Structure 1
Amino acid sequence: MNRKTLVLPAVVGLLAPVLAACGGSDSGGKGGDAISVGTTDRFTASKKVPAPFDPAYAYDVGSWNVLRQTVQTLMTMPRSGSGDPVPEAAESCIFSDNGSERYVCTLRKDLKFASGDPITAADVKYSIDRVRSIKADSMVYSLLSTIDTVETQGARKVIFHLNTPDATFPYKLATPTAGIVNPDDYSKDALRNGFEVDGSGPYTLQAEVKDNVVVKTVFTKNPNYQGQLKPKNDKIELVSFDGADAMGKALEKGDLDVMTRAMSPEQINTYSTNPPKNVNLVESSGMEIRFLGFNTATGSVKSKAVRQAMAQVIDRGDLVAKVYGTTADPLYSLVPAGITGHQNSFFNRYGDPDKAKAAATLRGADITSPVKMTLHYTTDHYGSATKKEFEVLKDQLNASGLFDVDIKGDIWDTFRDAELDGKYDVYGMGWFPDFPDADSFLAPFLDKDNTLGSPYANGTIRNQLIPAERREADRLTASKSLQQIQNIVAEDVPTLPLWQGKQYVAARDDVTGVERTLSSSAVLQLWELGRGISE
């Protein structure tokens, strides 16, 4: 393969036969050195975050990608990341009624944890009930909120009785939150502190830790694994870097085999136009979104008119052009383009940026301008371009004369705690979907027990529209309710969508399977990587 940018559509698997010539899938990593993969994700254990890798707590893309390698779920997404979930630890799963309220799964025969202990239906029930019982402050348990009770029949059958119809439930069973854990290793009513993980996934895990921070995560092939996945390597080392520059230098020197998130826009541009020797860049469509969140209960943005005026002033096209270039696209809804039910509700409501309209909105609510506020962002979680993004947002808002904006950055642990505690009026967040459906871009921010800890509560959304869209197994039919939700969000502005990102992976040219390393849902599929001869 020559050193050019390889551009892939969302359904990457469709191109697999064409790309197979880039290296034999059986040659990767078998009996050889571990394949080293770089990331800027940082995994820290603290009093506030005691259990980064516990399925009952973890709720960020980095931790989930660790769990996907090690903790098995009943269902899993196809390798492309799109389409319907398929059985993983389960032999089969199906709704046994016409109302999407009773879901029955049968486990594979002779399923075992990596320790060799057998997995039974009782272990599945224990794992699911444990998440729902602990109710960690990450709010990840909300993914399982439609479960009423979990029943077992014999050693292999699990029956989920739902409290409301939920056609998205199979997707939720494919998330690490529904991961199967061994009751011998995980307490029923307490989180598992630290970085140990025990499951039945394709790999076991050994974390190298310094000062309560993981510096390297070593994944070793699990000989007891049974499931859909077919690992093409025996060992992977996931190495955490302080920033994209250090990660890039390691790749270029040959100390690193693969570089994943988060690459800087400058790196992506360089690797696209003038890549280092023996390095390939893979581009694919993605579902990552960025948005501003608001504390609607207090402070400078309590008034809907202020939030609406911000939506009227911010120029997404200018923001993307100045900071992210071709690596992102403006976004006018919480639901990204490419997802069934998406519509450009914010553009339909506000059109192009217009200072005069924003000023009229403030005057109509008797709000004196300029409105003083601070925009908060995280310095170490979404990549090095975040600071520049907020500098552009500050300039845009201040240039209107309607706002007096300052910006402040904090490390992720500080930022996330403050955001959940309601200490920020305005804050920048990123989101990767729990599963590839519009529900996963709306309910986590708008339903009760939402992941933002947001005080915004709209009864029509929570009591009518979310239940209505979840009743529809046909997601095209669900679009009507989903689009109504998006329109209400554009009117009330509890969040303000900014942009939708593409995905990039850079790798040494003797590594195979790179085009499948990240699915369209941002799932890190380390089992796809191998070593071979590139052409």
Structure 2
Amino acid sequence: MNRKTLVLPAALGLLAPVLAACGATDGGDKSDEAIVVGTTDRFSTSGGTPAPFDPAYAYDASSWNVLRQTVQTLMHLPRGGGEPEPEAAERCGFSDNANERFECTLRSGLKFSDGREMTADDVKFSIERVLAIKDKNGPSGLLANIDAVETSGERKVIFHLKAADATFPYKLATPAAGIVNPEAYDANGLREGFDIDASGPYTLKTEVEKDTVVKAVFTKNPYYKGELTPKSDNTIELRSFDDADAMGESLKSGGIDMMARTVDPEQIQTLAANADDKIDVVEMPGLEMRYLGFDTDAPAVKSKAVRQAMAQLVDRGEITSKVYGAAAEPLYSLVPATITGHTNSFFNEYGEPSTAKARALLDKAGVHTPVKLTLNYTTDHYGPGTKAEFEILQKQLNDSGLFDVDIKGADWLKFRPDELEGKYAVYGMGWFPDFPDADNFIAPFLDKDNFLASPYANSRIRNTLIPESRQETDRLSAAEPIEDVQDIVAEDVPVLPLWQGKQYVAARDDITGVEWALNSSSNMQLWELGRGVGA
């Protein structure tokens, strides 16, 4: 399978028989060496980020990729996509017609990694702990619809919801609902540092320098019982790199076996074109998106006309073509093009970029021009293209003569707390969905206690449209309220979607299971990896 670029469709299962044969033996391992995976993600502790691996605190793709290997959940998403299926549970489902009572029965014989038996009370503890801590950085909003958690015996857990929510099974498949060992976690406080005590397929040991993880080693959990059985007995190392170039050089030299987040688009082209290297590049469907967020109370962008004018000026095609090439495509809605309910609301509202139309919006609102703004972005969290992207945005806005824009970068450890504290009027963010449903591209940005701590509040979205969409188990039937939300967002512009990305993995050709290493939500599935024989 040397040198092929494989494009995996949404129906990933169709290709599994073909790809499984690539670089593989009969499923056995010829080496007990660790499989080393490179990443540009950084895991650090500081006063602002004390507990990166605590399910009550962690709410970013990089930390969740660690938690998904180590912390078990009641439900999980199958490898090729589709509806959530039981994981720590042997069965789950709504037990009423209103979708407000959800029951799960645990598998028998579940244990934490220290051998302690897991019961329904541990699930209740874990869920209630996230809700009680309610950290502003954390994922408690995903579970906010839970009214009460009840147990019946040692194996049954019953969730009583405040309102109907057909997406609740998806939420139980996220690390927000991860089950932790109560003997290692405070019910009302975060667990600082990098230790994890849970029941997932792997245990974790970290190598730390200056409060930053330089190596994370995943070892098979001998007590694990569930659907995510590792395909190999090899340990798996996740090794952090300062940048994508250094990670790529390590892959070429054999220092690492695979690189995932974040691969530079130029690297993809180079690796795919170089027929001498025993490296395979896999392209996968992706739901990653980038957008501008607004503090709608900030004086510079408080006028809706300013935000609308920016939406009228931004040329997404120029950004994607000049910075990301084939790895991204313009996005005209919060809901990506491949998700049920998507509509091109921003294109329908604004059409092609137009300085004349932007000027008319500002003039009508009596906004004095040029509008002075700073666009803030993170220098180290979303890959090497971010700065170039913001330089293009700056030029597009300034060339109109309607804006006087500066750009300013900061590392993620500073950027994220400052954004949450409302220090930025305009800022660039990315989103890797918690689960592949339109609700997860709407509620985290627009509902109460949202991910951005945004002051924007639309009562029709919060009180009518989101609840209506959640009543429909058939997600096609939820399309109308979801489309209405997107139209309101295009009118009010509390966020400005920019582009939707594809995702790539590059690996040496003796590594098997690479085609399953990431799902469409960019979740790492390290249990799929093994070591075979190169071509």
Match of 1:438 in 2: 438
Separation of aligned partners in 2, 1:467 and 1:397 = 37
Match of 1:165 in 2: 164
For residues 189 and 29 of structure 1, do their structure 2 counterparts lie closer, same or farther at Cα, with a shift above 3 Å needed? farther
Match of 1:327 in 2: 327
Match of 1:153 in 2: 152
Q: Tell me by how many angstroms 1:27 deviates.
A: 4.0
Match of 1:419 in 2: 419
Q: Tell me by how many angstroms 1:414 deviates.
A: 0.6
1:408-448, Cα deviation, whole Å (9 max, x unpaired): 00000111011001000100000000100000001000001
Separation of aligned partners in 1, 2:155 and 2:301 = 52
For residues 25 and 169 of structure 1, do their structure 2 counterparts lie closer, same or farther at Cα, with a shift above 3 Å needed? farther
Q: Residue type of the partner of 1:281?
A: V
TM alignment of 1:218-297, pairs within 5 A: 218-234=217-233, 235-274=235-274, 277-297=277-297
User: Which stretch has the larger CA shift, 270-279 or 393-402?
Assistant: 270-279
Q: CA contact under 8 A between 2:57 and 2:135: conserved in structure 1?
A: yes
Separation of aligned partners in 2, 1:194 and 1:455 = 31
Q: Tell me by how many angstroms 1:28 deviates.
A: 5.7
TM-score, normalised with respect to structure 2: 0.98
For residues 490 and 350 of structure 1, do their structure 2 counterparts lie closer, same or farther at Cα, with a shift above 3 Å needed? same
Partner-residue secondary structure (3-state), 2:442:
helix
Separation of aligned partners in 1, 2:272 and 2:363 = 47
Separation of aligned partners in 2, 1:364 and 1:275 = 58
Match of 2:181 in 1: 182
Q: Residue type of the partner of 2:116?
A: D
User: Which stretch has the larger CA shift, 386-395 or 264-273?
Assistant: 264-273
Match of 2:338 in 1: 338
User: Which stretch has the larger CA shift, 22-31 or 112-121?
Assistant: 22-31
Q: CA contact under 8 A between 2:40 and 2:240: conserved in structure 1?
A: yes
Q: Tell me by how many angstroms 1:230 deviates.
A: 2.3
TM alignment of 1:74-113, pairs within 5 A: 74-80=74-80, 82-113=81-112
Match of 1:531 in 2: 531
Q: CA contact under 8 A between 1:25 and 1:512: conserved in structure 2?
A: no
Aligned: 1:15 with 2:15: yes
Q: CA contact under 8 A between 1:72 and 1:89: conserved in structure 2?
A: yes
**What is the RMSD computed on CA atoms of the aligned residues?**
1.1
Partner-residue secondary structure (3-state), 1:287:
coil
Q: Residue type of the partner of 1:172?
A: K
User: Which stretch has the larger CA shift, 9-18 or 453-462?
Assistant: 9-18
Q: Residue type of the partner of 2:435?
A: F
TM alignment of 1:45-84, pairs within 5 A: 45-80=45-80, 82-84=81-83
Q: Residue type of the partner of 1:503?
A: Q
Separation of aligned partners in 2, 1:205 and 1:488 = 44
Match of 1:474 in 2: 474
Q: Residue type of the partner of 2:419?
A: E
Separation of aligned partners in 2, 1:534 and 1:38 = 19
1:161-197, Cα deviation, whole Å (9 max, x unpaired): 0010000000000000100011100110100000000
Q: Tell me by how many angstroms 1:26 deviates.
A: 5.6
Match of 2:409 in 1: 409
Partner-residue secondary structure (3-state), 1:79:
coil
1:184-240, Cα deviation, whole Å (9 max, x unpaired): 001101000000001111000001111110101000001111111121122100001
Separation of aligned partners in 2, 1:414 and 1:457 = 26
For residues 431 and 30 of structure 1, do their structure 2 counterparts lie closer, same or farther at Cα, with a shift above 3 Å needed? farther
1:239-272, Cα deviation, whole Å (9 max, x unpaired): 0111101100100010000000101121112122
Separation of aligned partners in 1, 2:31 and 2:21 = 22
Separation of aligned partners in 2, 1:139 and 1:403 = 35
Q: CA contact under 8 A between 1:104 and 1:158: conserved in structure 2?
A: yes
Q: Residue type of the partner of 1:481?
A: P
Q: Which runs of 4+ in 1 moved over 6 A?
A: none
TM alignment of 1:337-416, pairs within 5 A: 337-416=337-416
Q: Residue type of the partner of 1:120?
A: T
Q: Tell me by how many angstroms 1:30 deviates.
A: 7.0
Q: CA contact under 8 A between 1:288 and 1:502: conserved in structure 2?
A: yes
Partner-residue secondary structure (3-state), 1:246:
helix
Structure 1 vs Structure 2: percent identity of aligned residues? 65
Aligned: 1:208 with 2:203: no
Q: Tell me by how many angstroms 1:308 deviates.
A: 0.1
Q: Tell me by how many angstroms 1:274 deviates.
A: 2.6
Match of 2:124 in 1: 125
Q: CA contact under 8 A between 1:75 and 1:170: conserved in structure 2?
A: yes
Q: CA contact under 8 A between 2:31 and 2:531: conserved in structure 1?
A: no
For residues 54 and 273 of structure 1, do their structure 2 counterparts lie closer, same or farther at Cα, with a shift above 3 Å needed? same
Match of 1:500 in 2: 500
Q: Residue type of the partner of 2:177?
A: A
Q: CA contact under 8 A between 1:101 and 1:163: conserved in structure 2?
A: yes
Separation of aligned partners in 2, 1:187 and 1:34 = 33
For residues 243 and 478 of structure 1, do their structure 2 counterparts lie closer, same or farther at Cα, with a shift above 3 Å needed? same
Separation of aligned partners in 2, 1:384 and 1:473 = 40
1:448-474, Cα deviation, whole Å (9 max, x unpaired): 100101000000000000111011101
Q: Residue type of the partner of 2:417?
A: D
Q: CA contact under 8 A between 2:75 and 2:85: conserved in structure 1?
A: yes
User: Which stretch has the larger CA shift, 3-12 or 64-73?
Assistant: 3-12
For residues 432 and 30 of structure 1, do their structure 2 counterparts lie closer, same or farther at Cα, with a shift above 3 Å needed? farther
Q: Residue type of the partner of 2:243?
A: G
Q: CA contact under 8 A between 1:30 and 1:232: conserved in structure 2?
A: no
Unpaired runs of 5+ residues, structure 1, are: none
Q: CA contact under 8 A between 1:28 and 1:232: conserved in structure 2?
A: no
Q: Tell me by how many angstroms 1:25 deviates.
A: 6.9
Separation of aligned partners in 1, 2:27 and 2:3 = 21
For residues 212 and 429 of structure 1, do their structure 2 counterparts lie closer, same or farther at Cα, with a shift above 3 Å needed? same
1:302-360, Cα deviation, whole Å (9 max, x unpaired): 11000000000000011111111111000000110110001100000000111100000
Q: Residue type of the partner of 1:117?
A: R
For residues 197 and 512 of structure 1, do their structure 2 counterparts lie closer, same or farther at Cα, with a shift above 3 Å needed? same
Separation of aligned partners in 2, 1:344 and 1:209 = 45
For residues 218 and 35 of structure 1, do their structure 2 counterparts lie closer, same or farther at Cα, with a shift above 3 Å needed? same
Unpaired runs of 5+ residues, structure 2, are: none
For residues 275 and 312 of structure 1, do their structure 2 counterparts lie closer, same or farther at Cα, with a shift above 3 Å needed? farther
Separation of aligned partners in 1, 2:157 and 2:498 = 41
Partner-residue secondary structure (3-state), 1:72:
coil
Q: Tell me by how many angstroms 1:504 deviates.
A: 0.2
Equivalent residues, number: 534
